[in-house]
């Protein structure tokens, strides 16, 4: 009996260690649970007008976690902007109006996606250090709650291409 137990121990302990290793590595930077969709048209950064130095970026984040876990977008930054905030759109004080609100994080539902788009959740860039006219490459770092920072670059586009109307 004790021999069986000893065998069971020697067999199972390394297995547990290996499993733990897989789970841990799955949570680390090597195993991103969240990915920014990067095909053409998936990312849009609105070009600025006049002396405006604030703009918005729209993109899609997909939840790749096979374990049905909700993840979050928790931050963003750009070397070309003083700050980048995560914004949502809520009802304004006057009926029928909408206003933007800064939030700490946004949910990326299990097996689902978070869509940042005009008139809803978006990334807001403040104090752009360069003129973000159309066709300027903007670098963005997007951070999700799995600790992964993804660097993306996108070309600024006109309001209409970003779906904002003229």
Q: Give CA–CA dist 112/132, Å, rounded.
A: 31
- Pairing assessment for the beta strands 113-115 and 34-36 based on DSSP bridges: unpaired
Give the three-class secondary structure for 102.
strand
Q: How far is the CB of 87 from Cu ion (least distance, A)?
A: 3
Q: How far is the CB of 28 from Cu ion (least distance, A)?
A: 32
Between 46 and 87, name the residue whose CB sits nearer to Cu ion. 87
Per-residue x/- mask for Cu ion, residues 112 to 131, rule CB under 5 A? ------------x-------
Q: In this structure, are residues 102 and 70 in contact, taking their beta carbons and an 8 Å threshold?
A: no
* DSSP, res 40: T
Between 31 and 85, name the residue whose CB sits nearer to Cu ion. 85
Between 62 and 85, name the residue whose CB sits nearer to Cu ion. 85
User: Site residues for Cu ion, window 41-100 (CB under 5 A)?
Assistant: 87, 100
Q: In this structure, are residues 72 and 107 in contact, taking their beta carbons and an 8 Å threshold?
A: yes
| Pure H helices in 29-148 | none
Q: How far is the CB of 122 from Cu ion (least distance, A)?
A: 6
Interface positions with Cu ion (CB under 5 A): 87, 100, 124
């Amino acid at each position: 009996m004790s021999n069986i137990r000893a065998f069971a121990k020697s067999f199972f302990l390394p297995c547990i260690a290996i499993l733990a290793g897989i789970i841990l590595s799955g949570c680390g930077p090597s195993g991103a649970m969240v990915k920014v969709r990067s095909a053409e048209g998936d990312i849009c950064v609105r070009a600025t007008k006049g002396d405006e130095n604030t703009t918005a970026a729209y993109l899609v984040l997909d939840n790749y976690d096979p374990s049905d876990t909700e993840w979050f977008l928790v931050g963003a930054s750009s070397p070309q902007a003083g700050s980048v905030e995560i914004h949502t759109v809520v009802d304004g004080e006057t009926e029928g109006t909408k206003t933007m609100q800064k939030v700490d994080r946004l949910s990326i539902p299990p097996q689902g996606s978070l869509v940042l788009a005009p008139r809803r959740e978006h990334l807001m860039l403040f104090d752009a250090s360069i003129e973000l006219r159309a066709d300027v490459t903007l670098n963005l770092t997007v951070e999700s709650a799995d600790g992964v920072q993804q660097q993306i670059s996108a070309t600024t586009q006109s309001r209409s291409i970003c779906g904002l109307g003229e």
